[in-house]
Chains A and B, each alone.
Chain A
Amino acid sequence: MAEWLDPLLILALALNFGALGVSRIRAVVNVVAAQGILLGVLPLFLHGGIGIRGFLLVATTVGLKGFGIPALLLHAMREVEIRHEVNPVIGFMSSLLLGAVGTGLAIVFARTLPLAPEHANTLIVPASLATVWTGFLMLTLRRKAIMQVLGYLLLENGVFIFGLLALEATPFLVEVGVLLDLFTGVFVMGIIIHHISREFSSTSMDRLSELKE
């Protein structure tokens, strides 16, 4: 099964570019949800069996990252009638270019890291770093509040990928706690987006500029 791991991680990397390149917010939500499902099932492809708790974890991750959180975001979009274009700070081509440069650097950098022999030849670390990088790009280069939430989710996905290396050392309770925090976090962010749109009649961050020195 382990031979499927790298192809799936390449797919996850491709989804990073999808998230940077599509112009409709709903499509970005779907891309991030797809990545969530993909990452959720990755533990099944690791060396060795994962046991009953592993299956529970896979089910929770897929349920929350793939369906629960996207549903919250789509609900928030319907509630506040967010305009459906991404409205980027810099263009899609430049975003994709930055994403590509970051991914390339992640692959080069990961080679220099002292990894355990069983992890040295997988794409886990480069995919993790590249996804964290994509999350940061989305957080800084997109104006809409909901896009920043999606950037945060991508960042978290990147951390999740790294977590595959330490899966056996991480207790089940902690994994589930992390996912619940993420879910609650997005839930609270959804509520605040609702209030932002009511107060500012827009969810663009350009309006949120009253507080500065």
Chain B
Amino acid sequence: MLYLPIFVPLIAAAAAFFTKSNRVRPWIAVAGAAAHSAIVYRLLAFPAGGADLSALGGWLRLDAPGRIVLGFLSVLFLLCSTYAPGYLAMRPERDNRVFCANILVLSATTTWMVLSYHLGLMWVAMEATTLASAPLIYFNRNQRSIEATWKYLLIGSVGIALALLGSLFLSYAAIKGGVETSLLFDDLTRVASKLSAPWLRAAFVLTLIGYGTKMGLAPMHTWKPDAYGEAPGLVGTLLAGGVTSCAFLAILRVQRVCRAGVEAGFVRDILIFMGLFSMAVAAIFMVRQRDFKRMLAYSSVEHMGILAIGVGVGGPALYGALLHMINNGLTKGVLFLSAGNIHRAYGSKSTDQVSGALKRTPLSAALFLIGFLAITGSPPFGPFVSELTIVAAAFRRGEFVAGGLFLVLLAVVFIGMGGTVLAVVQGEPREDRPPNGFRDHFTTAAPIVVFAALVLLLGLYIPRTLESSLREAAAALDVKR
């Protein structure tokens, strides 16, 4: 049963690849994503007798945090794929064979990554995710997008090579500690106190750098503004919501082993520092940012920082971090897709050329504004709840400096991002940018409305099953010593 959500999208990818019609292919992507969602729903709603599902001798396992990430990914891919037919219909001149097939391959590799419960297998899946997503960035086939693709691929591969070195350090920590263990995460956590502490510390630093590169934590975030800026909004959503969440899950799993093995302060301090540093870098580059898609990339850096802080603080903040991963991913869907529509309507993504979007594409512009309010933590949207959970936990656990800086940086980001967003939506459209025929349309607006509705829902009411799954996942990741 665990093989199905990996192989079904792959089969759909093959079908899309061998379909000749440019118009039919996006619908195969929708069908593939719908089938994937149905399988994931079946896996999550009817668990086999309460135990975790596993396969391949425990190498594949759907544990409590995995259930959260997998459920979220299936919603993300489903909504993004429903945006694809409308979007690709506007680009009939472009061959979308590789694009449609790769979206499905990416869905398969991210699922594989979530299910990988073996340190080595997880690494292989993460690298496969990088390779599957690189061609998506190059959809526009111009100089800028190829530059972005190259940076994404090279920086991502180098980063992930360091994560491999970190994984080897972790397995050497067992050899040096004289323990026989498999590289399954539960086994590693069980024997963690016997692992060689210096190697375990080094392993944590290297895996954090490696998977942190994929997550886009500063200072390993340099590929992010380029890739998110040049990729279509749809791809930006899948990267900022999907791929980063996978890398985050990898860090969650490794930190659990390390927390069980070395002194608690080590992992906590590094994660909180990296998180605050990411927020600070993002805040600096968001102030006066004229390119509104690059601005979204820095917003992603900021929110990866928030996730790192949540994990660093631990305890109740873990619940907040998992919830924030969902909130951030869904809100990024609102922002990237509406930004993509505005970009299309003006043929530019710079505030030098774009203004008055509320007049030209009222729905997309309104959604962009809502997305901005949500992502900066304004009530009543989801991110407000999750950020509040994290910062309250930080204060309760005595992290006053981190909590204080967190709030200050949130304020700076709000002001910086607000300047750019308001410049885009307010005022009058410039006369040298006449309407080019793009208008809000049901197919390109409906998925964004659904994303926005989910973000609002999670701010007002968290369904009981989600709440209990989040608690279960946070408890599974927490290490009490």
Query: Whole-angstrom distance from the CB of A190 to the nearest CB of chain B?
Result: 11
Quick one: which of A178, A181, A189, A192 contacts B138, CB cutoff 8 A?
A192
CA A158 to CA B162, docked complex, whole Å: 10
- Cα A156 to Cα B226 in complex, Å, equals 25
A163 contacts chain B at the CB level, 8 A cutoff: yes
Interface residues of A in 131-162 (CB under 8 A from B): 132, 139, 145, 148-149, 152, 155-156, 158-159, 162
Given A178-B164, A185-B157, A192-B138, check contact A170 B120 (CB 8 Å): yes
CB under 8 Å from chain A, chain B span 126-148: 127-128, 130-131, 134-135, 138, 141-144, 146-148
A152 lies within 8 A of B147 (CB): no
A174:B157 contact, CB within 8 angstroms? no
Q: Provided the pairs A165-B172, A177-B120, A188-B153 are in contact, do residues A210 and B147 lie with their beta carbons within 8 angstroms?
A: yes
Q: Does B174 count as interface, using CB distance less than 8 angstroms?
A: yes
A10 within 8 A of B: no
Stretch with Cβ within 8 A of B (4 or more), from A57-65, A91-99, A194-202: A194-202
Instruction: Report Cα–Cα, A195/B130, bound state, in Å.
Output: 19
Residue B158 interfacial (CB < 8 Å): yes
With A192-B153, A199-B142: A162-B118 Cβ-Cβ less than 8 Å? no
Q: Number of residues in A with C-beta < 8 Å to the partner?
A: 41
- A158 partner residues in chain B, CB cutoff 8 A: 165
Q: B176 on the interface (CB 8 Å rule)?
A: yes
B 176-213 to A, binary, CB cutoff 8 A, 1 in contact else 0: 10000001000000000000101100000000000000
CB atoms of A211 and B229 under 8 A apart: yes
- Rounded to whole Å, the gap between the CB of B235 and the closest CB of chain A is 16
Q: Is the CB of A148 within 8 A of B124?
A: no
- The reply to whether the CB of A1 lies closer than 8 angstroms to some CB of chain B is no
Q: Does A177 lie within 8 Å of B171, measured CB to CB? A: no
Distance to closest chain B CB from A195 (angstroms): 5
Contacts of A152 in B (CB 8 A): 154, 157-158, 161
Q: Say if the beta carbon of B444 comes within 8 Å of chain A.
A: no
Among candidates A169, A178, A209, residue contacting B124 with C-beta atoms closer than 8 Å: A178
Which B residues from 72 to 129 make CB contacts under 8 A with A? 118, 120-121, 123-124, 127-128
Closest to A199 in B: B143
User: B225, A211: Cβ atoms under 8 Å?
Assistant: yes
Asked whether B174 lies within 8 Å of A200 as measured between CB atoms, the reply is: no
Q: What B residues does A174 contact at CB under 8 A?
A: 118, 120-121, 123-124, 183
**Cβ proximity bits A75-113 to B, threshold 8 Å, 1 near / 0 not:** 000000000000000000000000000000000000001
Q: How far is the CB of A115 from chain B (nearest CB, A)?
A: 7
CB distance from B371 to the nearest CB of A (A): 23
Chain B residues in 8 Å Cβ range of A162? 165, 168-169, 172
Query: A166 near B175 (CB under 8 angstroms)?
Result: yes
Q: Which residue of A lies closest to B119 (CB)?
A: A174
Q: Return chain A residues, CB-CB under 8 Å to B225.
A: 211, 213
Contact residue among B127, B130, B144, B168 (Cβ-Cβ distance under 8 Å from A211): B144
* Nearest chain B CB to A129 CB, angstrom units: 10
Q: Check B230 for interface membership: any CB of A closer than 8 A.
A: yes
B175 near A165 with CB under 8 A, answer yes
Contact partner of B171 (CB less than 8 A), chosen from A156, A166, A188, A209, is: A166
Are the CB atoms of B171 and A192 closer together than 8 Å?
no
A159 and B168 contacting across the interface, CB-CB below 8 Å: yes
Q: Using Cβ atoms and an 8 Å threshold, which residues of chain B touch A148?
A: 154
What's the nearest-Cβ distance from chain B to residue A64, in Å?
14
CA distance A176 to B175 in the complex (A): 21
Q: Residue among B118, B168, B226, B229 with the most chain A CB within 10 A?
A: B168
Cross-chain contact A211 with B230 (CB below 8 angstroms): yes
B355 within 8 A of A: no
Is A114 engaged at the interface, CB distance under 8 Å to the other chain? yes
Shortest CB distance A186–B (Å) = 9
With A188-B131, A192-B146, A211-B148 given, is the CB distance from A169 to B175 under 8 Å?
yes
Contact with A along B22-37 (1 / 0, CB 8 A): 0000000000000000
What distance in Å separates the Cβ of B118 from its nearest Cβ neighbour in chain A? 7
Beta-carbon contacts of A39-70 to B below 8 Å, as 1s and 0s? 00000000000000000000000000000000
Q: Are B146 and A195 in contact (CB under 8 A)?
A: yes
Most chain A beta-carbon neighbours within 10 Å: one of B147, B148, B153, B176? B147
A199 vs B146: C-alpha distance when bound (angstroms)? 8
Instruction: For the complex formed, measure the closest distance between the CB of A187 and the CB atoms of chain B, giving whole angstroms.
Output: 9
Chain A residues with CB below 8 A from B141, complex form:
195
Q: In chain A, what residue has the closest Cβ to B197?
A: A114
Q: List 21 A-B contacts (CB under 8 A).
A: A113-B198, A114-B198, A132-B165, A152-B158, A165-B168, A169-B175, A171-B118, A174-B118, A174-B120, A174-B123, A178-B120, A180-B124, A181-B127, A181-B128, A181-B131, A185-B131, A185-B157, A192-B146, A208-B151, A209-B147, A211-B225
Given contacts A177-B121, A192-B146, could you give 12 more A-B pairs where the C-beta distance is less than 8 Å? Answer: A114-B176, A152-B154, A158-B165, A166-B168, A166-B171, A171-B118, A174-B183, A181-B124, A192-B138, A208-B146, A208-B151, A211-B144
B interface residues, Cβ below 8 angstroms from A: 118, 120-121, 123-124, 127-128, 130-131, 134-135, 138, 141-144, 146-151, 153-154, 157-158, 161, 164-165, 168-169, 171-172, 174-176, 183, 196, 198-199, 225-226, 229-230, 285
